[in-house]
């Protein structure tokens, strides 16, 4: 049976290191970005979604031989008012520059396949949030 | 309305940087840990859970004036066979060394409060997986 594992270790105060795939991610509960030494944990779910669908879309565009550059994904999560605060709406905004603007339909197909079929993180997020996505074409 | 945001940028090949709270997390689809330059995205959900509940538990133990050391949390996610692969069972194993072993009930209370009341990530994970937890006391 396939399993994934991560391990967190307490450093001091409200700082923690999480070991994942032999790499370390520093987590720090300090909400002040200027002095915080790490990321806040909840938004790692948004980063997880961005990474999962990015891999799918880049792979699919390569297979379709679509030439592109400046590929990015912004993921926004809107929190519930009530506690515990969870993401009630999650929006993924894909942006990229196409060499051939006539290939927009291929991009739309790749994003749709990832969001609705391939990306396991999207499937999980959809169990607790309203998941939306949009595509922006850069000039 | 409170929102969280992360932004991913494609670097090259199957490598991406995600910007979160002014920090960068490298994502790399390469499954070979020896040559991969980053983490795989799906397990960031497990790291998110570890960080969220760790902050709660350390904060609660501090409030209860419980003296502890060697605090860690291992999170394991068991994947579904069918695609898209999601986590069907998630297990968080808390480990710590107590100065006074008579305070185990306080640790159990703190973990239970985090898992069932405070931790938003636990609440989200519970929407798609069977979420279990256990506590190991180190000597």
Cα first-last separation, chain A: 46
**Beta carbon pairs, A and B, within 8 Å:** 260
pLDDT: is B31 or B138 the higher one? B138
Tens of pLDDT along chain A (139 residues) come to: 799 999 999 999 999 999 998 999 999 998 888 899 999 999 999 999 999 999 999 999 999 999 999 999 999 999 999 999 999 999 999 999 999 999 999 999 999 999 999 999 999 999 999 999 999 999 9
CB atoms within 10 A of CB B79: 18
B16 to each of B31, B128, B136, how far by Cα in Å?
14, 26, 36
* Cβ-defined contact of B39 to A25 (cutoff 8 Å): yes
The minimal CB distance from A10 to the residues B38, B47, B72 is found for B72
ipTM, two decimals, is 0.97
- Whether B23 has a pLDDT exceeding 80, the answer reads yes
pTM of the model as a whole: 0.97
Test B8 with A52 for CB contact under 8 angstroms.
no
Q: Count Cα neighbours of A85 within 13 Å in the Cβ-side half-sphere.
A: 13
B10, A53 contact by CB (below 8 A): no
Q: Is A82 on the interface with B (CB under 8 A)?
A: no
pLDDT on residue A84: 97
**CB contact B51 to A (< 8 Å):** yes
DSSP string, B47-78: HHHHHHHHHHHHHHHHHTT--EEEEEEEEEEE
Q: Which residues does residue B91 pair with via DSSP β-bridges, in sequence order?
A: B76, B132
Q: Choose from A57, A97, A124 for mutation: most chain B CBs within 10 A.
A: A124
Nearest CA of chain B to the CA of A59: how many Å? Answer: 8
Q: Inform me whether the C-beta atom of residue B132 falls under 8 Å from chain A C-beta atoms.
A: no
Residue partners of B20: CB distance under 8 A and separation at least 6? A39, A40, A43, A44, A46, A47, B6
- The average confidence (pLDDT) of chain B is 97
Q: Cβ of A124 and B128 within 8 Å?
A: yes
B104-113 and B44-63 helices, crossing angle to 10°: 130
DSSP assignment, residue A39?
B
Residue among B110, B107, B76 at smallest CA distance from B92? B76
**B95-127 pLDDT tens trace:** 999 999 999 999 999 999 999 999 999 999 999
Tokens (6 digits) for A11: 């450093």
């Amino acid at each position: 049976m396939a399993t994934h594992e991560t391990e967190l270790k307490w450093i001091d105060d409200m700082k923690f290191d999480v070991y994942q795939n032999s790499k370390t991610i520093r987590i720090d509960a300090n909400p002040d970005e200027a002095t915080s030494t790490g990321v806040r944990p909840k938004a790692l779910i948004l980063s997880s979604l961005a990474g999962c669908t990015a891999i799918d879309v880049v792979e699919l565009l390569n297979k379709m031989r679509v030439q592109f550059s400046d590929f990015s994904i912004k993921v926004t999560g809107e929190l519930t008012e009530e506690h515990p605060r969870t993401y009630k709406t999650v929006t993924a905004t894909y942006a990229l520059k196409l060499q051939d603007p006539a290939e927009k339909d291929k991009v739309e197909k790749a994003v749709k396949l990832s969001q609705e079929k391939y990306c396991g993180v999207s499937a999980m997020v959809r169990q607790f949030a309203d998941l939306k996505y949009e595509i922006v074409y850069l000039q």
